[in-house]
Amino acid sequence: MKKTLKTLLAAIVLIVEIPFLGSWALADNHPIQAITHAGFGGGTDVTTRMMLLRARRVLKQDMQLVNKKGGGGATSMDYMMSLPADGQHTLTWTTGHAVSMALGKTKVKLSDMQPLARGTDDPQLLVVSCKADIKDAKKFISTQKSKSLKYGTTHTGGIDDVSAIAFTKKGKLKDPIIVAYKGVAPIKTNLIKGDIDVGVLNLGEALTEINDGKLCVSVVLANKRMSKIGNVPTAKELGIPVSLSTVRGFVTKKGVSADRAKTLENGMMKAMGHNYYKNFLTEIGLDDTSVVGADEWGKQMEEMLKEMTAQLKALGYTK
């Protein structure tokens, strides 16, 4: 899947970087800045490029990527706040931005941002070996009520260990034993070997092994079941109120006029309804339910920041 995504990215990068010279005129001589914090080829970069591919046509205005790295997204938010609230920029806001805000790496607040649309919503999954007896969700929960389980995560102080802590605390389960790895591959390897009990992964990260019957999803940390693994219950169905995802969506600076914000939202929604974007979602294991408008996206941003703040405090990262 990574090879296919690289091929896709190579195909679109020139289209996104070179201004369109079509028969239609640009609405403004100044291009919209599409601000990101991620390097070339990463999930945030690709998601932004795929949105731009059609949005600039729909809006009849050029859009150019502006990369502002640093602080886990803090630098990109601070840069956005230095710009006027004129609707001439967007920021790709992610789970990482929520972490940076919760850790106090920036003074920017959610109230400083105007949500526009969500581009991807990749729920956190609790994944186990298909040979394990805890692949059934109810068995999983009953087991962890009596003993701690080893959870494999990527690094610490991020969405993965926050997911593990939130799930176990709200489910009144035994505390998880967090085993941090430098990447997804060793989590999957050690799950299959049986050296850890649970992996906190996204569907795209585990899809190959799930299709091969090596890994099974026990619980989905989302509001709704996922169509590709539709028989797996959500934590909320099991009485544990946790919904956490790796998300990427778009915002602009608060204060932009309502008309301009709606124009940007509608343009993005139409762009992400195009088959180009839908095919991109399919390629990364998602579907078009990832795409939602400003109201739902704004509520999810609030919920995510609240959860991140509470659980990072529980983990001892903040006071």
**pLDDT tens-digit map of 97-148:** 999 999 999 999 999 999 999 999 999 999 999 999 999 999 999 999 999 9
Shared domain for 254 and 110, answered yes or no, is yes
Name the nearest CA neighbour of 113 among 10, 250, 315: 250
Task: Read off the pLDDT of residues 30-63 as tens digits, 9 standing for 90 and up.
Answer: 899 999 998 888 889 999 999 999 999 999 999 9
d(CA 126, CA 221): 8
Considering the domain boundaries, does residue 266 fall inside one?
yes
Shared domain for 171 and 183, answered yes or no, is yes
> Which CATH number goes with the domain that contains 197?
3.40.190.10
- What is the amino acid identity at position 24? W
Considering the domain boundaries, does residue 239 fall inside one?
no
**Count of the separate structural domains present in the chain:** 2
Shared domain for 206 and 302, answered yes or no, is no
Please compute the mean of the pLDDT values over residues 79-97 and round it to a whole number.
97
Shared domain for 30 and 115, answered yes or no, is yes
| Separation of first and last alpha carbons in the chain | 40
Interacting residues of 237 by C-beta distance below 8 A, sequence separation 6+: 225
> Which CATH number goes with the domain that contains 290?
3.40.190.150
Considering the domain boundaries, does residue 237 fall inside one?
no
Task: Read off the pLDDT of residues 298-317 as tens digits, 9 standing for 90 and up.
Answer: 999 999 999 999 989 888 88
Which residue range is the domain that position 131 belongs to?
122-229
Does 200 have pLDDT greater than 70?
A: yes
Task: Read off the pLDDT of residues 231-267 as tens digits, 9 standing for 90 and up.
Answer: 999 999 999 999 999 999 999 999 999 999 999 999 9
Shared domain for 9 and 117, answered yes or no, is yes
Shared domain for 225 and 298, answered yes or no, is no
Name the nearest CA neighbour of 44 among 59, 66, 14, 60: 66
Give me the pLDDT at residue 27, please. 44
Shared domain for 201 and 252, answered yes or no, is no
